[in-house]
Amino acid sequence: MNVASFPAKIPRPPSYRLRRLNEIADVLGVSVDTFTAPAQPYVLHTGEDATYWLLTTDPQGVPVVRCTHDPATGYGTTEESVPDFLIRNAGTPQHQALTELIDSLLVMHLAR
């Protein structure tokens, strides 16, 4: 069978995509804007010294853990990948918060 015998993919009009997004949003009970709004950082933990850890995304949309220190400490903000964070921070409150979040997301996903 040669490649020329397969029908070319016909691009769907934007209205089709919007209709599908609306259908998905209705099923999930959320606004269609949810799919296009930038993700808000999720606070994993706030330390007594005003250091806090956020689950967020980098400019390419990859999930990262951002650690932000109180400016008075002289430390800046750092980011690391979720797997690196989980390896390096075992046993910390922020590690526990992230693993609990991952667990609850998996349970919700698998319960569908």
Residues 98 and 106: their CA atoms lie apart, in Å, by 12
Task: Kindly report, residue by residue over 59-85, the tens digit of the pLDDT.
Answer: 888 889 999 988 877 888 999 999 999
What does the block give as tokens for 15?
């209205």
Torsion sign over Cα 24, 27, 28, 29: positive
Instruction: Give the total residue count for the chain.
Output: 112
- Provide the pLDDT for residue 57: 87
pLDDT at 6: 54
Give the integer Cα–Cα distance in Å for 10 and 105. Answer: 35
Cα gap 27→13, rounded to integer Å? 22
Stated pTM of the model: 0.62
Q: What is the mean pLDDT of the chain?
A: 83
